[in-house]
Amino acid sequence: MEITENAVMLDPVRAIDSVARLSEVGVNFSLDDFGTGYSSLAQLKRLPVTQLKIDRSFISEMHTNASDATIVRSIIELGQNLGLRVVAEGVETSEHRSDLEAMGCDSAQGYYLSRPLPAGELTPWLTKQAVLPSTRLSRAAPA
C-alpha cells in the first residue's frame, strides 16, 4: 500500500500507529511523494515502510536543475542506507532511466516504461519486459 508523506504529517502519531499495526500482519507500505512534504527524518525512521517513492517533480527537472539532481541522488542513497527500496516516479525519457540506473535507483515508474495498463494487459507487458530488459531499470514497474 502507499501512504503519502503529507498524509503522515496530518496526524503522525496515528499514521505511524496504523501503519505499524498493518505491517505486523504483513502489509508492506511505500512512502509516496517523498521529498514534497514536511516530514522529518525522525518520522521516517519511525514509519515502518519498505519503499520510498521519489516524487516526479524532482525527476522531471533533474537534467536542468542541479538541486533536483542532488535531491534525487540523496533520496536514493538515504533510502538504500535505511534498507528501503527506492522507486522514481515520472520517468519519461531514456535519459531519466539511464541516469537513475547510474545513481542506483531500484525501480522506476513512468510513461517511458509504460502507460497505465488494464489488468488484462499486464501479463503480456511483463512477458515482453523479460525479453527486452534494456527498456527498464533492473527492477522496473509499470506506471
Number of H helices and E strands in the chain, helices first, is 7, 5
Mean pLDDT for all residues in the chain: 85
Can you list the alpha helix ranges (DSSP code H) found in 1-143?
5-10, 12-24, 41-46, 56-61, 66-81, 94-103, 119-131
pLDDT (tens digit, 9 = 90+) per residue, 95-114? Answer: 999 999 999 999 999 999 88
Whole-angstrom CA distances from 32 to 51, 87, 121, 128 are 9, 9, 25, 27
Q: Where are the domains positioned within the chain?
A: 2-135
Report the pLDDT value the prediction gives residue 40, as an integer from 0 to 100.
67
Q: Provide the whole-model pTM.
A: 0.80
pLDDT (tens digit, 9 = 90+) per residue, 11-26? Answer: 888 988 999 999 999 9
The answer, yes or no, to whether residue 27 has pLDDT greater than 90, is yes
User: What is the percent of the chain where pLDDT is above 70?
Assistant: 87
Q: State the architecture of 2-135 in CATH terms.
A: Alpha-Beta Barrel (3.20)
Helix %, strand %, coil % of the chain (to 5) = 50, 15, 35
The whole-number average pLDDT for the span 27-54 is 83
pLDDT (tens digit, 9 = 90+) per residue, 113-125? Answer: 888 889 899 888 8
Rg (CA), the chain: 16
Q: Please, are residues 82 and 114 in contact by the beta-carbon 8 Å criterion?
A: no
Report the pLDDT value the prediction gives residue 136, as an integer from 0 to 100.
45
Report the pLDDT value the prediction gives residue 87, as an integer from 0 to 100.
94
